[in-house]
A and B are shown apart, each in its own frame.
Chain A
Amino acid sequence: MNKRDKIFLSIIFAVYFIAWFISLKHIPPMDEAFSTLGHRWVVNIGGFAFNPATLINAVIVFLIVVWIALSVREMKLVPDRKQSIIEWLFDTFYEMVEDTVPDPRFVRSTFVVAMTIFMFVWVSNMLGSFPGIVFTGWENGKLTEIGIFTDTWQVPTADLNTNLTYALLVFVISHAFAIKAKGFKTWLKGWFEPNPIMMPMNLIGELAKPISHSLRLFGNIAGGAILTYIFSYMVKYFLLPIFLWGFFGLFVGTIQALVFSILAIAYISAQLT
């Protein structure tokens, strides 16, 4: 760390300290601060309930992923830093899929599914590791307040709808691949193994997969955001949120994105054996 970095960091810390000192007067009492916790902004269009905060943030995540894709579209023979990171990531994933999936015909498509899910979930989790625009709703779903830098972003992965969509996608894809690989009759017979009495157990076991798959990611990201909010309130937003965002956002977010895509690979390959 040279002298310029030290001066820069001291200025940032001074601004942070002054902002904290000013905001200390405006912090609401505990029951008022926590009364809107967990209430989302919901819009009803033709009988369907939409969550606009999730849609807006999903578009932001898509734009970031597309920007990453466009910036490495022309592969150079001598890679620069960004290209080598992307190459390393894709290579690691491809080797993992190759080791796990037994049928070589499905390696490439499984890799595409798992990698797409990983990119979306990881960028979304990273977005959830710093403060941003927060839409606060009330019980009837009406938008009451738009806050900027009051809480972490309401990222798409902190909403069960997104995670359940991806988990069901993996569930359907795994069974479609199984039908394609083994044929319809062998796939149907797989439900009645080892004997027909076990059919309900197999059914419940299969249906439990997407539920646990989606709830794990949702619980980690949404629970991390709520815990960060509560702990930050208890120290009046002074310094601790940075460590909480570092842990719940960067560390847990990366690990959960990895776990989500690895489980997707494992579920698909379990159907192919």
Chain B
Amino acid sequence: MDKMDLAQAIYLAGKAIGAGLAMGIGAIGPGVGEGNIGAHAMDAMARQPEMMGAITTRMLLADAVAESTGIYSLLIAFLIIFAL
């Protein structure tokens, strides 16, 4: 990389830090939520093994809804890196 002045360096550092923070903090919520969903689905499956098929499909659906905030932060991170 060729030599850059201070303003460019600060701009690049801000971009990198911002994208990292957006993705890292934004992934906490979906992580906790999907963990909860998985734990309770496991509980339900252990209690009623004959319902395994129905519980698995509903678990995947709930996962897809719970991870949407993580997907928003992924979008923001992409916007910061590639579009700013």
Task: Closest A residue to B68 by CB, please name it.
Answer: A216
CB distance from B2 to the nearest CB of A (A): 12
Asked if B60 is an interface residue, CB under 8 A from chain A, the answer is yes
Instruction: Report the Cα distance A209→B66, complex, angstroms.
Output: 15
**Stretch with Cβ within 8 A of A (4 or more), from B8-16, B33-41, B46-54, B74-82:** B74-82
Asked if B71 is an interface residue, CB under 8 A from chain A, the answer is yes
Task: Closest A residue to B75 by CB, please name it.
Answer: A219
CB distance from A210 to the nearest CB of B (A): 14
Given the known interface contacts A38-B83, A259-B61, the answer about A215 and B72 at a Cβ–Cβ threshold of 8 Å is: yes
CB distance from A68 to the nearest CB of B (A): 23
Q: Which residues of chain A in 162-208 are interfacial with respect to chain B, using CB atoms and an 8 Å cutoff?
A: none
Instruction: Report the Cα distance A212→B68, complex, angstroms.
Output: 8
Instruction: Report the Cα distance A38→B72, complex, angstroms.
Output: 16
Structural contact, B74 and A223, CB atoms closer than 8 A: yes
Given the known interface contacts A258-B61, A259-B61, the answer about A226 and B78 at a Cβ–Cβ threshold of 8 Å is: yes
Instruction: Report the Cα distance A220→B71, complex, angstroms.
Output: 6
CB distance from A225 to the nearest CB of B (A): 11
Residues of B within 8 A of A252 (CB): 64
Structural contact, A219 and B68, CB atoms closer than 8 A: yes
Q: Which residues of A contact B (CB under 8 A)?
A: 34, 37-38, 212, 215-216, 218-220, 222-223, 226, 252, 255-256, 258-259, 262
Q: How large is the interface on B (under 10, 10 to 19, 20 to 34, 35 or more residues)?
A: 10 to 19
Q: Which residues of B contact A (CB under 8 A)?
A: 60-61, 64-65, 68, 71-72, 74-75, 78, 82-83
Given the known interface contacts A38-B83, A226-B78, the answer about A259 and B71 at a Cβ–Cβ threshold of 8 Å is: no
Given the known interface contacts A215-B72, A216-B71, the answer about A223 and B78 at a Cβ–Cβ threshold of 8 Å is: yes
Instruction: Report the Cα distance A216→B68, complex, angstroms.
Output: 6
Can you list 13 A-B contacts (CB < 8 A)?
Answer: A215-B75, A216-B65, A219-B71, A219-B72, A219-B74, A223-B74, A252-B64, A255-B60, A256-B64, A258-B61, A258-B64, A259-B65, A262-B61
* Most central of B60, B61, B71, B72 by chain A CB within 10 Å: B71
CB distance from B34 to the nearest CB of A (A): 13
Task: Closest B residue to A219 by CB, please name it.
Answer: B71
Task: Closest A residue to B65 by CB, please name it.
Answer: A259
Besides A38-B82, A215-B68, 16 other A-B contacts (C-beta < 8 A): A34-B82, A37-B82, A215-B75, A219-B68, A219-B71, A219-B75, A220-B64, A220-B71, A223-B71, A223-B74, A252-B64, A255-B61, A256-B64, A258-B64, A259-B64, A259-B65
Task: Closest A residue to B57 by CB, please name it.
Answer: A258
Structural contact, A223 and B75, CB atoms closer than 8 A: yes
Residues of B within 8 A of A262 (CB): 61
Instruction: Report the Cα distance A259→B60, complex, angstroms.
Output: 10
Instruction: Report the Cα distance A38→B71, complex, angstroms.
Output: 16
Instruction: Report the Cα distance A191→B36, complex, angstroms.
Output: 34
Instruction: Report the Cα distance A38→B77, complex, angstroms.
Output: 13
Selected from B64, B72, B82, the residue in CB contact (under 8 A) with A255 is B64
